[in-house]
Amino acid sequence: MSNDILSIGHTANIVREWKNGNKAYYITNRHINYSNICKNRCKFCAFSREKESPDSYEMALDEILEKALAAAEGGATELHIVGGLHPDLPFDFYVKMIREIHESCPDVHIQAFTAIEIEHLSQVARLSVRQTLMALKEAGLGSLPGGGAEVFSPKIREHLCPEKLSGEGWLQVMRDAHTLGLRSNATMLYGHVETPEDRISHLIKLRELQDETGGFLTFIPLAFHPKNTEMSDSSGTTALLDLKVIAISRLMLDNFDHIKAYWIMLGIKLSQVALGFGVDDIDGTVQEEKITHAAGAETPEALSIREIIKLIEEAGREPVERDTLYNPVKRKQRNFMLQQV
């Protein structure tokens, strides 16, 4: 595989410009990680805890709603809600969470529950995946995040996360979501034990499903952070690998409109550089992300709109605030940060 990253990046940047012109998107959003209690023990995860662990937690609905209301009052257009596979919480807890947030914050888009969580909730509720999605959509769910995809290779999943839903299962949950009118993101976790062939196979499967449903909004390559995981002796990713994965993703996923640099994982400076390697989205304010920071991410837990705009403009791009579905958002005031709750 070529290491001529400048040529690969230049070609990817042509595709980016062809699809999105000089625009670089960002969003005013907040993360709510409602619980770190999880029945699975994935080797690459530093976030999950057993229920009996002294540092486990689960938020009450009132606490979740308080965070959602504060985000809405601060100007957020999206809430990103994910957590562990809690062994005891009833399905009604999740439906009530979505319904109460939606009723209290009707103008805020709720992007919640990975495909892994959806499959878990279907087991808890003793419903099909489609029925589970329909119940959540009726309550106010707007779209699904892309987490849990990891790498689709059965061999890799058996080694790293044998209890987790299979790659084909992840794709089927997304297929069901898309056919019900729920859009989603897609991800790939790289930089652990996967091979370049595993990455390419993963991208091909995403491309094939996008051809089928057209339901993916954006692709987000996720750089592995090994600290505090069972794989803490891993060196993680390099800047060269990060930029190569981003650029090749832009070239391969020709039916995806957007490629996102998730600055929480990639780092702020490299995310800015990635805008010249095929990326047209730098994510957003994020606020209070816990999963990657549990694995040693040294990025801040939030960025202000001013900081995001500066990053984009310094890269020679036109900053465009968007909502979850990539509709432009117009504001009178652009310099603010969501309030910590």
Q: Which parts are annotated binding residues?
A: 38, 42, 44-45, 150
- 98: three-class secondary structure by DSSP: helix
Distance in angstroms (rounded) separating the CA atoms of residues 253 and 154: 22
Return the sign of the alpha-carbon dihedral for residues 231, 237, 241, 242. positive
Q: Could you list the residues known to form a binding site for S-adenosyl-L-methionine, using ranges.
A: 44, 150
- 81: three-class secondary structure by DSSP: strand
Which residue type sits at 82? V
Q: Which residues contact 261 (CB under 8 A, 6 or more apart)?
A: 246, 270, 271, 274, 275, 279, 281, 282, 283
**Structure tokens given for 197:** 């062939």
Q: Could you list the residues known to form a binding site for [4Fe-4S] cluster, using ranges.
A: 38, 42, 45
Distance in angstroms (rounded) separating the CA atoms of residues 195 and 209: 22
Distance in angstroms (rounded) separating the CA atoms of residues 167 and 234: 23
Q: How many residues does the chain have?
A: 341
Distance in angstroms (rounded) separating the CA atoms of residues 261 and 245: 11
**Structure tokens given for 32:** 């709510």
Neighbours of 306 (CB within 10 A): 12
Distance in angstroms (rounded) separating the CA atoms of residues 3 and 101: 47
Beta-ladder partners of 24: 319
Neighbours of 236 (CB within 10 A): 17
HEC sequence for 28-77: CEEEEECECECCCCCCCCCCCECCCCCCCCECCHHHHHHHHHHHHHCCCC
Please check whether residue 247 is in contact with residue 278, taking contact to mean a CB–CB distance below 8 angstroms. yes
Q: Which helix (H) or strand (E) holds 245?
A: helix 239-252
